[in-house]
Amino acid sequence: MGRRDYLSRLALGRSPYEELEKVAEEDETPLRTTTAPEVQTNGIAAAVGDHVQQYDAKGRPVKPATEARNAEMRRAQNSVLELVGVVERRESSERLNDMKLRNIGEARQSVLAAEHENGEGLESAIALVLLPLGTWWSDCLTERCMTGLYAAERPFAQIISGMWQKLCTGGAKSFYSVLLPGAFAHVVYIASHLCLEALLEDAVRRGSRRLLRRRLRPKSQKRWLYALEIFETGLFLAVDAAMLPLVYYATAQQAGIAPAFPVLPPLSYHLPWHPVSFHAFGWKPIMGLSLVRNVGSPAALLLGQMVLSTESEDGSLKMNRIQENLQREGRAYYRRGDYSKAVEHFDRAIGRVPSVQLLDNRAACYDKLNVLPAALMDAKKAIQLQSEDPTGYLRAGKVLTKMEKHSVALEIYAHGLKKVKHVGQGYELLRKVHGELLSQLSPPTSVDPLTLLPRELAERIFEYLTFQQRIAVSRVSKQWHNYIRSSSNLWQHLDLSNPKRKVRTAFVSKAINTGRQKLTAATLSMLHDFDKVLHALVRHCPLEQLALLDTGLQGHNLIEALRKANHLKSLRLGRGTEIGPSTVNQLLYVCTALESFEFVLQRNEQFSGIGVGWYERLQDLKVTLTGEPAPALAFTFNTIGQRWWIPPTLDRHVFWSMQTSAPNLRSITLHDQHPPSHRSRLLEPVDLTKLRHLKCLDLALQIESAAQLRLPPCITELSLVSTLNRAMPAFFHHSAGGIASLSLPCLEKLKVRITCLNVALVQQFLSEGGAPQIADSTGMVMSPSKLRELDLHSMMVSTADLNALLAHPRLGSIEHFCLKHSFYDDDSPTQSDDVIPGVIRKRLSGLQYLDLSTEPITGVGVKTLVQGSQLKHLVVSDCRNLGSDAVEWARAQGVRVDYKMTSSEGGRKKLRY
């Protein structure tokens, strides 16, 4: 904004060093400054202090003063460009030339329309002539058989052979007399009939135009037009009567009654007074009854047939010619501005045969005359006449808007959008006016963001939502639905987890068609046809991540479906999806690009590892053992016949197969979630020393001693949960009496859950244990890393032991610390309630997350932890000595506090500080 005046002077051709006030005095045109009260509001204005914010009809903020200045700047820039010869100013003569060109274009369009109409007439005439000739011979044969020209006992093959011999022995005349008798007369009749009809139509059209241009009373003009219509019908009837001899002669030749030559009847055949003419016998009655007389003659019957056939083919066109003239004259009066005369012509045209176009034309005239109720009535009649035509809805909405009934007009537009077919220019125009009226009626704050934001920015916003949330917001409106369905970037992850009902296959098909090559992740659950959906996803989408939930028992069908998944990198078989150990090995063999594999064994088979193979790309492996073992494996009988329980064991090849088949594993998770009495015993040690890239290890097994753990020193995250429900104070002692060493110099995250865990055991995890030193990429010896997260569960500790533990050099940089379900052996437990938070506050100064659930912490301890520290998140659930007022005080200090009491006994209401 600081260069605004400088740029304004340059754009207006002034010196940048000239003062603005001086320039304004010289030009005698001071700069316009518009104050807030002087601005005309166009919509709703919001006042903030002395400034009034204005909005346009679509809810966008506007500033008229800025727009006026911008217009002035554009005019100045155009003047400068004109002076230097870059652009030329358009004169009024050029505008007139443009108008002439536009009129010429309109005239050319009308000429093309007339040519198109003539072409259609010529095409219909050609079809009328050529189509009967295609079946002329078969029609001739049928009529000759019906008239008895051939005897009934004569075989049909003999008739055909006789015609064929005549064709072979005779010349052109025989060919015509056998195949095309009467065809030439028929063609001459059609051509002459069309020419005479065209001449009569032109004469009648000219007469009706002259009659409409005369200044007559409406009743007289109506009578004359009716008389002209009757006269036109009589002329056409006279033409048909005059052509009767030619039609009869062609029909007689076709039936074999008249000779094939001459091809046309002589002139005397057409003269009524000639004794051998058609009229001499054609009008004689078939029966001698006096009542029927000439009405029952062959000529009358033939004439009636011609009239009926003509009326059935194009009678409607004849009857509508005068109506077209009336409509044409009414439009001419409308263009000239004589709306009353136009209404009279449209009234007479609608009186003959009402149509949507005529009703809309009359409604437009009433709209110009400001007779809005009559215009609305015509629009309603147009809707009732043809509900799928958008013309009536557009006219009714326009009239209602002019009558200031905007809500009714909006309902009319919405009803039209439901009735009109979703194709064509009419529907698009109806949708456009509906959107404009909706935006006018909506308040400025309810602006659709998709109509204002760029598509890329809207997609970035929708990417923050989950897949289920995107499907939910797609129901906001049809525009949002179409936008989300048309953006393939929003369908990269087909997440069908936790559905309320079974997912239809049609929905998955739409998702595949929308995402295509960008759909790389899928979570499938509760499908109507799981096999069909999975095969379609693998065939059409480059799946990289796949998760299956609640799909039941899977085996050979899953292997065959994933055989073509060449891009699959992550496979997760979660709850409700059951596989066996053999299926695990086959899946690893089929999915060659797999990097992450998670599955749950819920059957009674014993897990024996990932099999023999070479899975160098496999990096993450997570196995969960659930269910109960088979009774045959769980029980046996001793020598005296008693039932004896044999606990299951974990196969010795489990960890050996991990080292030999997947040497690049970075993360291993193995959880035994069997019931306590059915958990697998660990007989062989957990030997993972050959996995040089292993970083994360999560074990939940029946581990009795650290001697059963042989871990590589490169582990950075260790979670060790012993499922044995007994105290293990000698966890780091060998059976021979020595101490087991466990060296983890790279450890950064440690989670230990061993019943009655003591400080000495935790310090063993932090010690180096005499292991060889590790060097980095430059050859420098690395010092032991410092832990960032420490999670201790069921620990037996005193205040002195906790102080000594937290004083360990590797725990000085802890940011995440959990201490839950601890047992304190201090002499005065109430004193430890206030001392332990002080120890944590003193030793862990950089702590950001602290979980002290079920610990005997009080309000004083909360104040000690929160006040003056970097703590951001505190979890104090099930702390019975803590009052809710202390929790509220900590939240007021800006710390997120999770406080929930699961037992019936609530917290205290006192804060002792």
What is the model's pLDDT at position 379? 92
What is the model's pLDDT at position 107? 74
Coil, helix or strand for 729? coil
Residue 696 pairs in a beta bridge with: 667, 717
Q: Letter for the amino acid at 446? A: S
- How far apart CA 720 and CA 742 sit, in angstroms, is 13
What is the model's pLDDT at position 875? 92
Instruction: Give me the mean pLDDT over the 187-207 stretch.
Output: 84
Residue 448 has pLDDT above 90, yes or no: no
Comparison of pLDDT for 790 and 423, the residue scoring more: 790
Question: How many helices (H) does the chain have, and how many strands (E)?
Answer: 34, 25
What is the model's pLDDT at position 366? 93
What is the model's pLDDT at position 66? 81
Chain centre distance of CA 596 = 31
Residue 29 has pLDDT above 50, yes or no: no
Q: What is the pLDDT of residues 255-276, one digit of tens each?
A: 887 888 888 888 777 777 677 6
Comparison of pLDDT for 311 and 539, the residue scoring more: 539
Comparison of pLDDT for 636 and 433, the residue scoring more: 433
Instruction: Give me the mean pLDDT over the 612-631 stretch.
Output: 75
Q: What is the pLDDT of residues 796-852, one digit of tens each?
A: 777 788 888 888 888 888 899 998 877 766 544 444 456 788 888 888 888 899 998
Give the chain's domains with CATH numbers.
181-281 (no CATH), 375-444 (1.25.40), 453-491 (no CATH), 492-602 (no CATH), 800-904 (3.80.10.10)
What is the model's pLDDT at position 310? 55
Query: What number of residues does the chain have?
Result: 913
E strands present in 686-844: 686-687, 696-701, 709-710, 717-722, 749-757, 789-797, 816-820, 823-824
Q: Letter for the amino acid at 294? A: N
Whether the model clears a pTM of 0.75, i.e. scores above it, the answer is no
Q: What is the pLDDT of residues 521-533, one digit of tens each?
A: 999 988 888 888 8
Q: What is the pLDDT of residues 387-401, one digit of tens each?
A: 888 899 999 999 999
What is the model's pLDDT at position 711? 85
What is the model's pLDDT at position 874? 92
Comparison of pLDDT for 370 and 143, the residue scoring more: 370
What is the model's pLDDT at position 365? 93
Most confident segment among 8-17, 47-56, 94-103, 654-663: 654-663
Angle CA(296)–CA(298)–CA(299) in degrees, nearest 5? 100
- How far apart CA 337 and CA 393 sit, in angstroms, is 25
Comparison of pLDDT for 42 and 572, the residue scoring more: 572
What is the model's pLDDT at position 362? 93
What is the model's pLDDT at position 873? 93
What is the model's pLDDT at position 37? 39
Instruction: Give me the mean pLDDT over the 737-764 stretch.
Output: 76
- Residue recorded with tokens 């230990």: 752
Return the percent helix, strand and coil in the chain, to nearest 5: 50, 15, 35
Comparison of pLDDT for 132 and 351, the residue scoring more: 351
Give per-residue burial for 152-169: e unless 16+ CB within 10 Å, then b.
eeeeeeebeeebeeeeee
Residue 92 has pLDDT above 70, yes or no: no
CA distance to 197, 267, 313, 361, per residue, from 241 (Å): 13, 16, 18, 40
What is the model's pLDDT at position 31? 36
Residue 590: which pLDDT band, with cuts at 50, 70 and 90? confident
- How far apart CA 270 and CA 241 sit, in angstroms, is 11
Comparison of pLDDT for 778 and 357, the residue scoring more: 357
Number of Cβ atoms within 10 Å of the Cβ of 111 = 10
Spatial neighbors of 831 by CB under 8 A, at least 6 apart, are none
Residue 347 has pLDDT above 80, yes or no: yes
Segment among 125-129, 509-513, 706-710, 757-761 with least mean pLDDT = 125-129
What is the model's pLDDT at position 360? 92
What percent of the chain is modeled with pLDDT above 90?
Answer: 8
Residue 2 token pair = 């600081």
Residue 480 token pair = 């949002």
Instruction: Give me the mean pLDDT over the 634-646 stretch.
Output: 42
Instruction: Give me the mean pLDDT over the 581-597 stretch.
Output: 86
Residue 136 has pLDDT above 60, yes or no: yes
Residue 502: which pLDDT band, with cuts at 50, 70 and 90? confident
Instruction: Give me the mean pLDDT over the 735-754 stretch.
Output: 74
Residue 303: which pLDDT band, with cuts at 50, 70 and 90? low
Residue 317: which pLDDT band, with cuts at 50, 70 and 90? very low
Instruction: Give me the mean pLDDT over the 646-660 stretch.
Output: 68
Instruction: Give me the mean pLDDT over the 439-457 stretch.
Output: 76
What is the model's pLDDT at position 44? 43
Instruction: Give me the mean pLDDT over the 229-237 stretch.
Output: 84
Residue 695 has pLDDT above 70, yes or no: yes
Query: What kind and span of H or E run contains 849?
Result: strand 849-851
Residue 478: which pLDDT band, with cuts at 50, 70 and 90? confident
Instruction: Give me the mean pLDDT over the 172-187 stretch.
Output: 84
pLDDT mean across residues, the chain: 76
Q: Classify residue 339 by burial, with Cβ atoms within 10 Å: 0-12, 13-18, 19+.
A: buried
Segment among 14-28, 82-96, 137-151, 553-567 with least mean pLDDT = 14-28
What is the model's pLDDT at position 125? 66
Residue 315: which pLDDT band, with cuts at 50, 70 and 90? very low
Comparison of pLDDT for 414 and 278, the residue scoring more: 414
Residue 306 has pLDDT above 50, yes or no: yes
Comparison of pLDDT for 230 and 644, the residue scoring more: 230
Query: Is the separation of the CB atoms in 64 and 54 below 8 Å?
Result: yes
Instruction: Give me the mean pLDDT over the 584-594 stretch.
Output: 86
What is the model's pLDDT at position 367? 92
- Residue recorded with tokens 């009336």: 326
What is the model's pLDDT at position 378? 92
Residue 375: which pLDDT band, with cuts at 50, 70 and 90? very high
